[in-house]
Chains A and B, each alone.
Chain A
Amino acid sequence: MLRPFTLHRPETADEACALLARLGEDSAAYAGGTELLLMMKLGLLRPRHLVDVKRIRGFGEIGLESHLGPRGPSPATAGGANSEGTRLTIGAAVTHRAVERSALVGARCPLVGSVARHVANVRVRNVGTVGGNLAFADPHSDLATLFLTLAASVELVSPRGRRELPLADFVRGPWETARASDELLAAVRLTPWAGDTAAAYVKFGVHERPTLAVAAALRLDGPVGAGRRGGDRIVDARVAVGCVGPKPERAAAAEACLRGASVADLEDAARAASDIAAAGVDPADDLYGSADYKREMVAVFVRRALGIAAARARGVAPATRFPHAVVA
């Protein structure tokens, strides 16, 4: 059962922000409700006003660069065939299902589409939104972990104007973000990886939300999937670990020890990187497992994610069947 509230349905971001500014802590932005309504049922949140953001123009769109911005796509990035430098913008009210099915996401950030296919369950994916997922900052978010490897930033709008913030700074801790009470999360921007990148996302768990998640992206010195004629040396590595700590984090030290390694002979570097990543996480004992268990699992799954990315880099079918794990 939900406590009574007034539902507002603004059609512009300005109107929505004015409502949030006026109603303050008594209000909450509402899109799919897959997180918000659960918190309200439990009485953890008791807003007397919900501001539905689904009717705001642009919030339900996926596009390139700043389709929500005042200037539209810049001439330097509009229509370019090369994805490098052109950011993908996903509106806050875009559902996981729409991300899964978007041809643009599939072309620019294919792993994002694959991961969207595995968020929660089909009912949540049909109504839950990207903006809601990020703004709630549940530590078990699939998207936040993956997006860290795509240099994600979020666009916030308020009566004071617009600002863009790196996702890593936006998410401050469990259910805590840098969003002010009169600000609205309008969109997330992702920077697609360069063409010579192989990647993997692996999550593990027996509950509805994952116990841990690892995103790994390896940029090579040549084409991926081309075997001996392709790239072999890792020129850039990105590894993000989610669900185990208070917020998802990049594992910079682990990334550093992967640079220069060969994907054909990655075992030693992957082992070192996974041990470093495990040492760097800040897990807590909870229903998902003890801190020690989670730390150990981080080592196991960083190694597995790197193994899958390396196999993809070489054009070899990776081993992807692990108990209680989902590979995207």
Chain B
Amino acid sequence: MTIHTVVNGRPHDLDVAPHALLLDVLRDTLDLKGAKRSCDTQVCGACTVLVDGLAVSACTYLAVEADGRSVLTVEGLAEGESLHPLQRAFVEAGAVQCGFCTAGMLLTAKAMLSEHDRPTRADVLHYLRGSLCRCTGYRKIVDAVLAAAETRS
């Protein structure tokens, strides 16, 4: 099946099988390795990407569903050499340890910020529930998201 999709601002016409998962198309066809395969069951959040602004698990999302939609991966967050405010906040707060969960955390946080003008700690915690960091660095991650929200307002 041919799908037309915009990935990180760039339009693509891709020939994908009905059973192709979005994660594999991103990683193997488009060589975007930011989204990770980890639990493969929508539990951990390491494969999170945004489809039309909504966070989805790319590991359990058919690539054909991205037809006519825009996909954002962590590679599309920065503008050139200039980091996204969330990325800067993660660096400044020391919210990255091994980094495996970071792409998913950033994109989930971006979706959260698009829905909340002034998020509370509870808003962040609610939204990040289901995004797992096995280094257990949650406090700094939440601090970073709140700091990014603060910078924006």
Interface residues of A, Cβ cutoff 8 Å to B: 2-7, 33-34, 37-38, 41, 50, 97, 117, 120-124, 126-127, 208
Which of B37-58 touch A at CB < 8 Å? 40-43, 45, 48, 54-57
Q: Taking the complex as formed, is B130 at the interface, i.e. its CB lies under 8 A from any CB of chain A?
A: yes
Instruction: Note all chain A residues with C-beta closer than 8 A to B118.
Output: none
A-B pairs with lowest CB-CB distance, top 3: A121-B130, A7-B18, A2-B19
Whether the Cβ atoms of A7 and B42 lie closer than 8 Å is no
Q: Taking the complex as formed, is B60 at the interface, i.e. its CB lies under 8 A from any CB of chain A?
A: yes
Measured in the bound complex, the distance between the Cα atoms of B19 and A117 in whole Å is 29
Whether the Cβ atoms of A121 and B18 lie closer than 8 Å is no
Report if A122-B41 is in contact (Cβ < 8 Å); known contacts: A2-B19, A37-B60.
no
Partner among B1, B19, B55, B60 whose Cβ is within 8 Å of the Cβ of A122: B55
Q: Taking the complex as formed, is B134 at the interface, i.e. its CB lies under 8 A from any CB of chain A?
A: no
Measured in the bound complex, the distance between the Cα atoms of B130 and A107 in whole Å is 28
Measured in the bound complex, the distance between the Cα atoms of B21 and A34 in whole Å is 13
Which of B61-85 touch A at CB < 8 Å? 61-62, 64
Partner among B1, B45, B54, B64 whose Cβ is within 8 Å of the Cβ of A121: B45
Partner among B54, B126, B131 whose Cβ is within 8 Å of the Cβ of A126: B54
Q: Taking the complex as formed, is B93 at the interface, i.e. its CB lies under 8 A from any CB of chain A?
A: no
Q: Which of A3, A34, A120, A123 has the most CB of B within 10 A?
A: A123
Whether the Cβ atoms of A4 and B19 lie closer than 8 Å is yes
Measured in the bound complex, the distance between the Cα atoms of B145 and A227 in whole Å is 40
Count CB-based A-B contacts (< 8 Å).
Answer: 62
Whether the Cβ atoms of B127 and A2 lie closer than 8 Å is no
Partner among B19, B21, B56, B64 whose Cβ is within 8 Å of the Cβ of A123: B56
Whether the Cβ atoms of A122 and B111 lie closer than 8 Å is yes
Instruction: Note all chain B residues with C-beta closer than 8 A to A33.
Output: 60-62
Measured in the bound complex, the distance between the Cα atoms of B58 and A174 in whole Å is 27
Q: Taking the complex as formed, is B27 at the interface, i.e. its CB lies under 8 A from any CB of chain A?
A: no
Q: Give 18 pairs: A residue, B residue, CB < 8 Å, sorted on A.
A: A4-B17, A5-B19, A6-B18, A34-B60, A37-B62, A38-B41, A38-B60, A117-B126, A121-B43, A122-B127, A122-B130, A123-B42, A123-B48, A123-B56, A124-B130, A126-B54, A127-B56, A208-B43
Measured in the bound complex, the distance between the Cα atoms of B19 and A2 in whole Å is 6
Measured in the bound complex, the distance between the Cα atoms of B19 and A127 in whole Å is 17
Which of B1-60 touch A at CB < 8 Å? 1, 17-19, 21, 40-43, 45, 48, 54-57, 60
Q: How many whole Å from A286's CB to the nearest CB in chain B?
A: 17
Report if A120-B55 is in contact (Cβ < 8 Å); known contacts: A2-B19, A6-B18.
no
Instruction: Note all chain A residues with C-beta closer than 8 A to B55.
Output: 122-123, 126
Q: Taking the complex as formed, is B108 at the interface, i.e. its CB lies under 8 A from any CB of chain A?
A: yes
Which residue of chain A is the closest to B60 with respect to CB atoms? A37
